Structure 1
């Protein structure tokens, strides 16, 4: 979505179960509330990344789990995995 002053990019995590839960019974349960990250401007416009993270429920425990995104990468406003994801695009 683009306007005269900002760009909003919507990202949605793929429905791929994290490896650490591959041996247990799980069920996809949609998404957590989106997180909006403000990133560096592009061509003089503010850039916002609207990120929707998936969640799964462990059937035997009734506990929700999600992919383990490391906290913010040092010196940036994004996670290590997200920074790697962006690097792969370019």
Structure 2
């Protein structure tokens, strides 16, 4: 059975991350309620790497990105990415997930949506 929250989150996010907490908070500056959805990368080594040669060394500092609102409330995904290290060379590797828009703190889906909504073709196609 799929997690019901997966219909609100970026595609296949829960395939790679475990849901830790969903917290509803009050945002002081806007006086609105927001959701913080905390996720931690699963303890699964990336494809193509031998688990015997690598060890999990905790997590990188968490990253907070904004996603689509749920029921009118702003949603922030708090992402904890796992830190992997090769045992002999001590070289670290990490997964490159494509759900974060490059150079922003938005999911790609939200970034694309915002780009499209700001463009009225009648203004530009003269």
The interval holding the TM-score normalised by the smaller chain is 0.7 to 0.9
Q: 2:25: which partner in 1?
A: 3
- 8 Å Cα contact 2:66/2:107 also seen in 1: no
Unaligned runs of 5+ in 1: 80-90
CA RMSD of aligned residues (A): 2.5
Going by fraction, where is helix more abundant, 1 or 2?
A: 2
Q: 1:28: which partner in 2?
A: 56
- d(CA) in 2 for partners of 1:71 and 1:41? 16
TM-aligned CA distance change 1:69 to 1:10, over 3 Å: same
Q: TM-score, normalised by structure 1?
A: 0.72
Unaligned runs of 5+ in 2: 1-22, 27-32, 109-126
Q: TM-score, normalised by structure 2?
A: 0.53
- Counting matched residue pairs gives 78
- d(CA) in 1 for partners of 2:99 and 2:74? 23
- 1:62 is matched with which residue: 79, 90, 111? 90
- Whichever of the two has the greater Rg, that structure is 2
TM-aligned CA distance change 1:33 to 1:67, over 3 Å: same
